[in-house]
């Protein structure tokens, strides 16, 4: 081979290497080391769904709350140690995030089949896709190859995870901080097409919105009456309400139609449609009228979210138990 062609080959190789490290993750990462990873994860979730119709929504939420704090590194799964505080006890997660037992069951099944191979961070990403597709939503090729963090960041969970009561501009900023745009924000909010929320997260809208002494004017009167029955003024804050009153366990585009009808459960939901002049309004309208457009955007936005600052190569580790760092 002449020296010039050797340079060309080396340049192509270098370009591919750069592209690979740039992309970092890929959909065939476990093709040789754990080829059945997706079906193993899916089977465990199907089992869990038999006794818990909420579990799909709970699992996708774990991935979301993981990725917004130090990237998609399974830091949310770690219990507290002498050297760090668990993200499970951060305000957005405490007495609210759930599904950790199902993640452990998935990990056990994978360790039996392919020991020491599949990361907990990748389990969360695969579980999110399986939860959506098993509930009637889109499927997508999950990009894989994340590794697991060696620590957690409770302070980061308190500051970085969007809150249902903080207002659209703040939430948009939190999405922007992790490289997600307004389309991603609206599409990913559409995950509230299934699952539940506790009364304490929206009761302020029902009786005393932002200190006005009145309900949030953007809730339809009939929906307000229903919610006030579910969540009486001095009732239990942990009572559950469906995020999507029309099809509470199906992944569809009804969430967006609900917003058009002033039936968004959380302030953060309804503001996507009721904030005058916001770029989010036309996206809500588009997804409401075209489920295929929503499904395509949702799948792409899940891939975008799954790409937030993953640990790859020799960074981090492959945890053997998702709750704790190896050797601890």
Catalytic residues: 65
Tell me if 104 is assigned to a ligand binding site: no
162 is in an annotated binding site: yes
The reply to whether 117 sits in an annotated binding site is: no
d(CA 312, CA 298): 24
Q: Is 129 annotated as a binding residue?
A: no
Ligand-binding annotation for 69, yes or no, is: yes
Burial of 229 per CB tally in 10 Å (0-12, 13-18, 19+): exposed
Kindly tell me the burial class for residue 303, based on how many C-beta atoms sit within 10 Å of its own C-beta (0-12, 13-18, 19 or more): middle
> Residue 138 annotated as binding?
no
Annotated binding-site residue? 313: no
Is 19 annotated as belonging to a binding site? no
Query: What is the distance between the alpha carbons of residues 56 and 102, in angstroms, rounded to a whole number?
Result: 10
User: How long, in residues, is the chain?
Assistant: 328
Is 87 marked as binding a ligand? yes
Beta carbons of 74 and 149 less than 8 angstroms apart: yes
Handedness of CA 13, 17, 22, 28 (dihedral sign): positive
DSSP state of 146: -
Cα(244)–Cα(32) distance, integer angstroms: 40
Going by C-alpha positions, the residue among 217, 254, 211, 248 that lies closest to residue 230 is: 248
Confirm whether residue 244 is marked as ligand binding: yes
Reading the block at residue 216, the tokens are 């949030």
Report angle CA 70, 298, 143 to the nearest 5 degrees: 55
What residue numbers does the annotated binding site for substrate cover? Answer: 162
What residue numbers does the annotated binding site cover? Answer: 66, 69, 71, 73, 75, 87, 162, 192-193, 244, 247, 252
What residue numbers does the annotated binding site for Ca(2+) cover? Answer: 66, 69, 71, 73, 75, 87, 193, 244, 247, 252
What residue numbers does the annotated binding site for heme b cover? Answer: 192
């Amino acid at each position: 081979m002449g020296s010039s062609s050797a340079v060309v080959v080396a340049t192509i190789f270098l370009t591919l290497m750069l592209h690979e490290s740039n992309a970092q993750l890929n959909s065939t990462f476990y093709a040789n080391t754990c080829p059945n990873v997706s079906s193993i994860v899916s089977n465990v979730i199907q089992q869990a769904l038999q006794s818990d119709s909420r579990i799909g929504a709970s699992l996708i939420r774990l991935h979301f709350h993981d990725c917004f704090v130090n990237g998609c590194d399974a830091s949310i799964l770690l219990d507290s140690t002498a050297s760090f505080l668990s993200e499970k006890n951060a305000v957005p997660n405490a007495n609210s995030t759930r599904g950790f037992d199902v993640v452990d069951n998935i990990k056990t099944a994978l360790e039996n089949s392919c020991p020491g191979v599949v990361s907990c961070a990748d389990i969360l990403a695969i579980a999110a896709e399986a939860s959506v597709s098993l509930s009637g939503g889109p499927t997508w090729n999950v990009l894989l190859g994340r590794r697991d963090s060696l620590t957690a960041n409770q302070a980061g969970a308190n500051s970085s995870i969007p809150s249902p009561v903080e207002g659209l501009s703040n939430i948009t900023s939190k999405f922007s901080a992790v490289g997600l745009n307004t389309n991603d924000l609206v599409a990913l909010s559409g995950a509230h097409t299934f699952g539940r929320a506790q009364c304490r997260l929206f009761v302020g809208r029902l009786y005393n919105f932002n200190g006005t002494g009145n309900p949030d004017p953007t809730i339809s009167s009939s929906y307000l009456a229903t919610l006030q029955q579910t969540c009486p003024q001095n009732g239990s804050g942990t009572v559950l309400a469906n995020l999507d009153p029309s099809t509470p366990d199906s992944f569809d585009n009804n969430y967006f139609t609900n917003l058009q009808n002033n039936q968004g459960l959380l302030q953060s939901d309804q503001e996507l449609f009721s904030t005058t002049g916001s770029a989010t309004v036309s996206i809500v309208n588009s997804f409401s009228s075209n489920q295929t457009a929503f499904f395509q955007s949702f799948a792409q936005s899940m891939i975008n979210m799954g790409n937030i600052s993953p640990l790859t190569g020799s960074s981090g580790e492959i945890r053997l138990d998702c709750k704790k760092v190896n050797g601890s």
